[in-house]
Amino acid sequence: MKNSFRNVIVAALLALVAFPLVAQEWPTKPITIMVPFAIGGTADIVARLIGPGLNRELGQPVVVDNKGGAGGTIATAMVARAPGDGYTILIHHMGITFNAWLYDRLPYDTLRDIAPVAYVGATPNVLVVSNKLGVRNVEEFLALARQKPNTINYGSGGVGSAGHLPMELLQSTLNVRLVHVPYKGSGPAITDLIAGQIDAMLLTIPAVISHIQIGRVRAIATSGTQRSAALPSLPTLAEAGVKDFEYAPWYGFFAPSKTPPTVMNRLHAAVNKVLSEPEVVTKLRQQGLEVRPIKREQFVEIVRDDVSRWGRIIKTLGIKGE
């Protein structure tokens, strides 16, 4: 019995010694970045711009895997259930905090099962309209919306998505009524916007800037507190007369919460190192994303605060995910 007990103690001590060694050796195989949305969206663009740098910093291949659907909860659930070994991570935006309130039975707990690892930056959204709508600025857009309530339709990547909630909040702020047309991702919605099948969208700048630049759609305002460096001639909504509305969703990397702190810290340092590269910063800024590396603890607080803030907004608006 004594020998058996001694063997158990020895095995436990060896496990404690081996655990940090495994973490220190990380990574020894390819790393997968799960993207919870379709190819071509902002999260996908960010992942593919940062991925090569992580490859260089960590010495292992970095694979981007798009698993869209259910407002990003499918990929998030996959990461929450993944082994906490640092080989499956998630790129997500502020919408991860929406989902904590939009869905009654999420297969994960946002604050318990997913750990914020590295903050990338934030981008204001841009309000764009179809060329067929015939409006040139925010004033004309709002005049038409008030003259013909419930006739202008706007698209989004789905109920509760990052393109839906702020538009509902904007309507509530301005006391106008538009018609929501949800899609399974912003990509198909942008295609219909270009074709004139829908009238408007509120989109992240990276997702639509190329279409703005060649005139496929018309941008009428951005949603940040300051003008975007990517669209410097475009006024903010505040400059266009819309007060008390600001929306600039952030982007960041997450991992299963059971991931060893040493692995999360190394991943955090690797992301920040990539974000210090001038070429990467330039490419992200060209897409409208302002890079702002911060401490991991600060990112944790941002996520907690936004879960609380958007919980209040979603309850007030009475929105539920599908």
Q: What would the pLDDT profile of 61-119 be if each residue is shown by its tens digit? A: 999 999 988 888 999 999 999 999 999 999 999 999 999 999 888 999 999 999 999 99
Q: Residues in the chain, how many?
A: 322
Smallest CA-to-CA distance from 299 within 116, 114, 89, 76 is with 116
C-alpha distances in Å from residue 321, one per residue of 49, 94, 159, 201? 30, 15, 6, 19
pLDDT, tens digit, 9 for 90 and up, residues 218-238? 999 999 989 998 999 999 999
For residues 53 and 274, is the Cβ–Cβ distance under 8 A? yes
What does DSSP assign to residue 26? -
Q: What does each C-alpha distance from 301 to 147, 195, 251, 252, 297 come to in angstroms?
A: 43, 41, 14, 13, 6
Q: Could you tell me if 295 and 117 are in contact, meaning their C-beta atoms sit under 8 angstroms apart?
A: no
CATH 1.10.10.10 correct for 29-122+250-317 = no
Count CA atoms within 13 Å of residue 240 on its CB side: 26
List where CATH 3.40.190.150 sits in the chain: 29-122+250-317
* Distance from C-alpha of 81 to C-alpha of 256, rounded to nearest angstrom: 7
Q: Say which CATH topology domain 125-222 has.
A: D-Maltodextrin-Binding Protein; domain 2 (3.40.190)
- d(CA 56, CA 147) in angstroms, rounded, equals 56
Once rounded to an integer, what is the mean pLDDT over residues 16-22?
46
What pLDDT is recorded for position 218?
98
* Mean pLDDT for all residues in the chain: 91
Return d(Cα 51, Cα 142) in angstroms, integer. 41
Residue 271 CB coordination number (10 Å): 24
pLDDT digits (tens, 9 = 90+) for 127-183: 999 999 999 999 999 999 999 999 999 999 888 888 999 999 999 999 999 999 998
The DSSP line for 216-280 is: SEEEEEE-SSS--TTSTTSPBTTTTT--S-----EEEEEEETTS-HHHHHHHHHHHHHHTT-HHH
Instruction: Write down the pLDDT at residue 171.
Output: 94
Positions of CATH 3.40.190.10 in the chain: 125-222
With 70 as the cut, is the pLDDT of residue 12 above it? no
- Is residue 191 within 8 Å of 123, Cβ to Cβ? no
Q: How far apart are the first and last CA of the chain?
A: 57
Q: Is 177 left (phi over 0), alpha (psi -120 to 50) or beta?
A: beta
pTM as predicted: 0.83
Closest CA to 88 of 64, 71, 110: 64
- Residue 23 — pLDDT band, cuts 50, 70, 90? low
